[in-house]
Amino acid sequence: MRTISYTVLCTLMLLCFAGCGKQPAEQGSVPAGNKYAEGFQITQTDTGVVVEVFQPYQRLCVREPLRRLGTMSTVQVGFLYALDAMDCLVAVCNPELIYTPVKGDEIDLGDSMKPSAERTLQAGLDALLAVNYGQYDNLEATRLEKLGVFTIYINEWQEHSPLARAEWIRVLGALTGKLHEADSIFNEVEKKYLSLSGEAGLSAKRSVSKAVSIMSGNNFRGTWYVPSGKNYLAYLFKDAGADYPFYNDERETSIPLTVEETIHYFHDADVWVGAGGNSLSELAQMDEKHTWFKAYKDGRVYNWRKQRLPSGANNFWERGVVHPEEMLEDVIHILNNAPDSTLHFAERLY
Q: Are 301 and 348 in contact (CB under 8 A)?
A: yes
Size (the chain), residues? 350
Return the pLDDT at 275. 95
Return the pLDDT at 10. 26
Nearest-angstrom CA–CA distance, 93 and 73: 7
Return the pLDDT at 56. 86
Strand order in the sheet with 49-54: 4-6, 57-62, 49-54, 40-44
Helix (H) or strand (E) holding 215: strand 214-216
Return the pLDDT at 16. 30
Return the pLDDT at 211. 87
- Neighbour-count burial for 183-220, b at 16+ CB within 10 Å, e otherwise: eebbeebbebbeebbeebeeebeeeeeebbbbbbbbbe
Q: What average pLDDT values come out for the chain (350 residues) when binned by 10 residues?
A: 41 29 58 93 93 92 96 97 98 97 95 92 96 66 85 94 98 97 98 92 61 91 93 96 96 92 97 96 94 97 97 97 98 96 98
Amino acid at residue number 337: N
CA–centroid distance for 203 within its chain: 28
Return the pLDDT at 271. 98
Nearest-angstrom CA–CA distance, 39 and 168: 9
Return the pLDDT at 7. 40
Q: Are 133 and 108 in contact (CB under 8 A)?
A: no
Return the pLDDT at 2. 46
